[in-house]
Amino acid sequence: MSLLLNMPLIIQDASAVEALAESVKGDMGMLWMLISGILVFFMQAGFFLVESGMTDSKNAVNIAMKNFLDIAVGSLAFWFVGYSLMYGSDVSGGGYFHWGGFIFSQGAADLFFQTVFAATAATIVSGAIAGRTKYTTYAIFSIIMTAIIYPIAGGWEWNGGWLNNTDGIMPAEFIDFAGSSIVHSVGGWAALVAAWMVGPRIGKYLNGKPVELLGHNQMYATLGVFILWLGWFGFNGGSQLAWGGDDATAASQVVLVTNLAAAAGAIGALIISWVKMGKPNLGMTLNGALAGLVSITAGCGNMGEAGAVLAGLIGGILVVYSIGFVEKTLKIDDAVGAISVHGIAGAWGTLVIGLWGIDGDTGIGLFNGGGAAQLGAQAIGVLAYAVWSIGLSYIFLLILKKTIGLRVTEAEEIQGLDISEHGSLAYPGRRQREMED
């Protein structure tokens, strides 16, 4: 009874109402981050389905093991040291390095959300080098990615690092809302180095010309892309890091433009592959949708709906030509197109902010009155992440190559990594029928 009598006084206290509203907003923001993190976690299943579906069935267990490894060791490595290198409060070297001590944390929700991002960066490498890489080597490199390469790079932008310092070489603050460069290009450039150093799969090139090595299950790949598309709503929307009021509106807009860019990327790749190949190609269309998603990841908080559609459309077109360039001109065997989807589309998605990006109602891109400063900042960021990921990946992979080696033997590759690396089969009934035939 006394509580009821006192309620009007509490409601009339403006400061109490404001404090209650902030508390609810904070709780909702934490819940939104957790739900978003769970969606991003589920993306690991999508990556597994895409990678296994687009490659030979004799390596499906190996790909499953690599995706489980990424989330397992990635969670521990990022918890133990990676998060500290990314979000630590002690800054040195002009904002290039951060440190907060081992097992550093600023809250469970944030740590979990950032952990699944780290695992994503590592997983990108997995598909590019599928079918011929030692599992032990991949395990070590996955730890390096989640503990060192990705976290340090992330701190440059998401923890007030040098890319946000306009007193230095930056003409404007670099923008990468959810990680086109920080997550996807870092993973894509690492995949480029790894695929080049490991070398092409047996039978990929005949007289210097690429041979199409068909995946074993396009339905797996299609389901995987649908899962990734769904998870991306958490990937980008959760990067708002808050919910309630204006933040809820902003996060909803982020989810909307993410969906539009994915759809446009799929259509762009569909049309171009149809023209080039004479028939609509499922694999290219799937990669086009992913390229559209990567293309909007950096600018999903700084892009209008029409701008998002155009960014995704161009990303989907780019990925078709990029996959051909990597395969035919560079002679690099990327089993699933990861270099193009994540590296090239990631760079494009970062640069496009400097072309027609917005900040609220203000144009910050070159084509909408913002001048060249933002484009310059975006270009510096793209270059920095490329140099960092390519350089560090080369150093660590070279060490691994000189010590334990990168590649399985020819006999093991022909037999399949499921048997040679894990002593298991994804489809034992199919293998038995093949042996009987």
In this predicted model, what pLDDT tens digit does every residue of 231-249 receive, in sequence order?
999 999 999 877 666 777 8
* pLDDT score of 11 more than 50: no
Confidence category of residue 93, pLDDT binned at 50, 70, 90: low
CB 324 within 8 A of CB 381: no
* pLDDT score of 437 more than 60: no
**pLDDT for residue 83:** 96
* pLDDT score of 435 more than 80: no
Confidence category of residue 434, pLDDT binned at 50, 70, 90: low
Q: What is the average pLDDT across 107-131?
A: 95
Region of 210 on the Ramachandran plot (φ > 0 left; ψ -120 to 50 alpha; else beta) = beta
pLDDT tens profile 351-381: 999 999 999 889 999 999 999 999 999 999 9
Confidence category of residue 168, pLDDT binned at 50, 70, 90: confident
pLDDT tens profile 195-224: 999 999 999 999 999 999 999 999 999 999
At the topology level, CATH places domain 11-89+105-424 in Ammonium transporter fold (1.10.3430)
* pLDDT score of 18 more than 80: no
